[in-house]
Amino acid sequence: KAGVTQTPRYLIKTRGQQVTLSCSPISGHRSVSWYQQTPGQGLQFLFEYFSETQRNKGNFPGRFSGRQFSNSRSEMNVSTLELGDSALYLCASSRGSGYTFGSGTRLTVV
């Protein structure tokens, strides 16, 4: 059974650019959540999508956006990147209350 797949695994971007990260959930999982994790920090919730609709949203600026497709795959976009956006971005999928995480995308902004 395939797990949650995040691409790319690593990414280096320049300040001011925009970036799109992808997440393919476990088959049958309709909920996809995104988190930001900076070194030594916990998981900061970005947003959650369920059946192509944003169901929950964290306290991040509007530069962070996401969407979910009909096959439950999800993307998140960060526009006008800042140095502070450097982090591990994790997505997690769920069919109920237990969430399965991908390995994350390590974004470095230079």
Partner 1 sequence: GQQLNQSPQSMFIQEGEDVSMNCTSSSIFNTWLWYKQDPGEGPVLLIALYKAGELTSNGRLTAQFGITRKDSFLNISASIPSDVGIYFCAGQHMDSNYQLIWGAGTKLIIKP
- Number of residues in contact with partner 1, rule: CB under 8 A? 25
Tokens 């900076």: give the residue: 38
Secondary structure (3-state) at 9: coil
For partner 1, the closer of residues 76 and 80 by Cβ is 76
Confirm or reject binding of residue 53 to partner 1 (CB under 8 A): no
Confirm or reject binding of residue 11 to partner 1 (CB under 8 A): no
DSSP 8-state assignment for residue 28:
T
| SS3 sequence of 38-98 | CCCCCCEEEEEEECCEEEEECCCCCCEEEEECCCCCEEEEECCCCHHHCEEEEEEEECCCC
Cβ atoms of 107 and 13 closer than 8 Å: yes
Confirm or reject binding of residue 64 to partner 1 (CB under 8 A): no
DSSP 8-state assignment for residue 4:
-
For partner 1, the closer of residues 16 and 108 by Cβ is 108
Using CB under 8 A, pick the residue from 19, 21, 78, 92 that binds partner 1.
92
Instruction: Name residues contacting partner 1, limited to 22-51 (CB under 8 A).
Output: 31, 33, 41-43, 45, 48, 50
Residues in touch with partner 1 (CB under 8 A): 4, 31, 33, 41-43, 45, 48, 50, 55-56, 58-59, 88, 90, 92, 97-104, 106
